[in-house]
Amino acid sequence: MSDFLTLKKSNCKNCYKCIRQCPVKSIRFSANQAHIIGNECILCGQCFVVCPQNAKEIKDQTEKAKVLIQRGDPVVASIAPSFIANYSGIGIEAIDSALKKLGFHSAEETAVGAAIVKNEYERILHEEQRDILISSCCHSVNLLIQKYFPKALPYLADVVSPMQAHSMEIKKRIPNAKVVFIGPCISKMDEAEHYEGYIDAVLTFEQLSRWLASEGIEPQKEIIPKEKSRTRLFPTAGGILRSMSLDEQGYSYIAADGIDNCISALRDIENGGIHKCFIEMSACAGSCVGGPAMEKYRKSTVRDIIAVTGYAGVKDFDTAEHDSVELHKSYTFIERRAAQPTEYELIEILHQMGKFKPEQELNCGTCGYNTCREKAAAIFQGKAEVSMCLPFLKDKAESFSDTIVRNTPNALIVLNDKLEVQQINSAAMKIMNLRHGSDILGDQVVRILDPAIFIKVQKSGVGVYNSKTFLAEYQKYVEQTVVPDKESRMLICIMRDVTDEERSRERKEEISRRTVEIADKVVDKQMRIVQEIASLLGETAAETKIALTKLKESISDE
């Protein structure tokens, strides 16, 4: 099933938007990539619609359709009634003409099959008096019931879809005909493959548009009104009901569009809260005109509904009679393989996510799951990773960075572009005699430091490294590094207290200075003595002077 909707791995950016929008959470994340779980997917296509990276791709059966045409059998296109919304101002006659240029035998409206299905719904309500009847036109809704609401399966109308009914009607009329369905739906590809003998290939409107464009074919803007075409209303919310007679006494007729509304109704049905009701269900908001494979740049629900309504007639299509047996379609429960964790296993996973108390289960939904427990179950099933919990990652990152900042021996100060202190650690507070960080946080750095170096770095955009500075106010010597973070527009100041080193160096210099002074005095005194001795002995003092001078220079160098 997942073959119909695939992932371009290089484009998946680990944003979790698809899982947030997936109504049944049938997406698995592994190695920072999203993977569709075919056994759980209902092919509603929401992940395709919302993906900001266009990482999801719909399977393209254009080549398969071309091969069908090349084989020589008549290939008929069954065009979903939402086409009038996708191809503005272009009626079925113009579509038929354009597709014949591609090699199709003809193009017909799936709405003809919708009329057949609508008649069968009315017969069931009238003759069988079922308690609840759910329309079976939307394959995504059918999959939803088959996989997630098995108790509601007996209420799902055991009737073929309009696509299948139309294919049956075509193949009865045209010997050896092949049928290609063209519409706004991804799930129809699965329906065509699962229920063999009806549809031979499925294309989306976008794929048809690309095919036409590649052949330089542009359908003519032409609409010919047709009075007998009421089931053209089927692709709009409530369109099935608007096509039906609705004259069965004691029945309520309800339309539920959008998967959330469908799920809500199905829960009520399983809980026994609904009776004597016909429910039209469609997975897409607005029904088929909101289909995932409607061309994105053309989609506008209100405008599309107006287009469909204006194109529909007031009477039914003329259709051939079909026996109820051949229109029958059975639905079976589709078992999902995902195991459920025990309460102990769930708690253990919650602990891995940093959730040790119920109040820590924020249920924020940033990971895509509705609750932390739902996310923990997904981790157990191998569908999610602990790292998808953004509050957990944030807390972990902050705790890690705080530990580093708090324990580093270097002073750290972070300023914003207004030179306001945003962060200061304990080493910096010690240098500047601050008791609490709150004493300076949010205030101008000029309160504690000369801002000149920060202004210089901010203006030049070039950092200053290991600049030795004396902080007169604090009687401290520091090696100061100030670097700009251009992305965050922050300045980061790192200071190393070198006061002890400077004091030690000054003491050594003082000792050397005093030693030199003493040496000078010794030299002078010795020179006087030597001169006196020399005068008495009649010898020169030159050699002695040179020796003592070298001694003085040696001491000075130290």
Give the phi and the psi of residue 62 in degrees, each rounded to 5.
Answer: -60, -45
Q: How far apart are CA 504 and CA 477, in angstroms?
A: 12
- The rounded distance, in Å, linking the Cα atoms of 464 and 484 is 9
Contacts of 61 (CB under 8 A, 6+ apart): 189, 201, 202, 203, 207
506 is written with which tokens?
Answer: 């000054």
What gap in Å lies between CA 102 and CA 491, rounded to an integer? Answer: 64
Confidence check: pLDDT of 461 > 80 = yes
Helix 139-148 to helix 187-194 angle, to the nearest 10 degrees?
Answer: 70
Does the global pTM surpass 0.75? no
Whole-number pLDDT of residue 299: 65
Query: pLDDT tens digits, residue range 135-145?
Result: 999 999 999 99
Query: What is the per-residue pLDDT across 18-58, written as a single tens digit (0 to 9) for each?
Result: 888 999 999 888 777 888 888 899 999 999 888 888 888 89
Note the pLDDT tens digit of each residue in 98-113.
999 999 999 999 999 9
Q: What is the pLDDT of residue 394?
A: 66
Q: What is the mean pLDDT of the chain?
A: 88
Tokens representing 445?
């750095």
Q: For the chain, give me the number of helices (H) and strands (E)? A: 20, 16
CATH number of 409-497: 3.30.450.20
Which of the four pLDDT bands, split at 50, 70 and 90, describes residue 454? very high
% of the chain surpassing 90 pLDDT? 60
Q: Can you name the residues that pair with 277 across neighbouring β-strands?
A: 132, 252
Residue that is written with structure tokens 């080193």 in the block: 501
Which numeric CATH code is attached to 60-311? 3.40.50
Listed residue (286, 275, 321, 384) closest to 123, CA to CA? 321
Strands 132-134 and 464-471: unpaired
**Between 259-270 and 139-148, two packed helices, what is the crossing angle to 10 degrees?**
40
3-class secondary-structure state, position 91: coil
Beta bridge partners, 79, equal 109, 182
Domain 338-407 in CATH 1.10.15: yes
Does residue 298 carry a pLDDT above 70? Answer: no
Q: According to the model, what pLDDT value does residue 356 have?
A: 86
For residue 51, the model assigns a pLDDT of 87
Kindly report, residue by residue over 318-374, the tens digit of the pLDDT. 998 888 889 999 999 998 777 788 888 888 888 888 888 888 778 887 777 888 888
Report the distance separating Cα 460 and Cα 454, nearest Å: 10
Residue-level pLDDT at 557: 62
pLDDT for res 284: 95
